[in-house]
Amino acid sequence: MARRKRKSSGVEYQDIELNIMPFIDVFSILNIFLLVSASFLSIGVIKVQVPFFTNAPVPPEKAKRSLSINVDIEKTKIELKTSYSQPPINEKIKKFDNNEAGLKDLHTELVSIRNQNPDTDLVTVFSEDDVTYEEITKLLDAIKIRLPSDPAFANKADEDDSEVEKMKLEGMLYPKVVMGSVIL
């Protein structure tokens, strides 16, 4: 706090000024720290799995009648195929355009399927070779991400999921995606 004494027409008074230098020091240090540690591009990950063949016996829960959801992506179209593992198979095929509107429709359809089959949390994706990584990312977003307007689903965590991943599960529509085309 700085004080100055002035004399004006014989009256003595004190002019008080706020010492803002420590404030500026703190701001400078904070600025430098934030500028150095700032990341202007946020990076995320999309977790997918590849199939693996094993001769281990089929777990008993897999032997039950369950729904299988397959998504085939091509350069211009996306095909959604659903079928049950045991009769009645009840196979259904729906086609969508590989564009923003088509992906939105696909997402709506997947939400409806999940509503009817809340235990099914896995989607198998098959892709043509000429589909770009960007298009696959958009498709994975449509499959995995639950929008705020979508209902919440109870997703089970995997054994190898981290605590952070377990926390994020409630924001997922289908948390498990297998890249079915990755087979020798």
Partner 1 sequence: MASFENKSSDSISLNLTPMLDVFSILVTFLLMTYSTDPVSHSTREDIALPMSSTIAVLDEIPAVSVTKKELWLNDNKITDVIGGDVPETDRHQGAIMPLYKELVKIKEVNDRVLESLDPSSKNKKSKKGTLTMEMDSGHNFKLMKRIMLSGQQAEFLTFKLVVSKPVE
Q: Which residues bind partner 1 (CB under 8 A)?
A: 20, 23-24, 27-28, 30-31, 34-35, 37-52, 127-134, 136-138, 140-141, 144-145, 160, 162, 164-165, 168, 171-172, 179, 181-182, 184
**Residues 181, 70 contacting (CB under 8 angstroms):** no
**Residues 96, 102 contacting (CB under 8 angstroms):** yes
Residue written as tokens 């049950």?
84
User: Which CB sits closer to partner 1, 122 or 131?
Assistant: 131
Neighbours of 70 (CB within 10 A): 16
- Exposure string of 16-32, with b = 16+ CB inside 10 Å and e = fewer, is eeeeeeeeeeeeeeeee
Q: How far is the CB of 16 from partner 1 (least distance, A)?
A: 14
User: Which CB sits closer to partner 1, 84 or 168?
Assistant: 168
Q: How far is the CB of 88 from partner 1 (least distance, A)?
A: 32
**Residues 93, 79 contacting (CB under 8 angstroms):** yes
Q: How far is the CB of 89 from partner 1 (least distance, A)?
A: 28
Closest to 15 in 3D by CA, of 29, 1, 28: 1
Q: How far is the CB of 80 from partner 1 (least distance, A)?
A: 18
Q: How far is the CB of 106 from partner 1 (least distance, A)?
A: 15
C-alpha–C-alpha distance, residues 179 and 184, integer Å: 13
C-alpha–C-alpha distance, residues 86 and 89, integer Å: 6
User: Which CB sits closer to partner 1, 61 or 160?
Assistant: 160
User: Which CB sits closer to partner 1, 68 or 181?
Assistant: 181
User: Which CB sits closer to partner 1, 81 or 138?
Assistant: 138
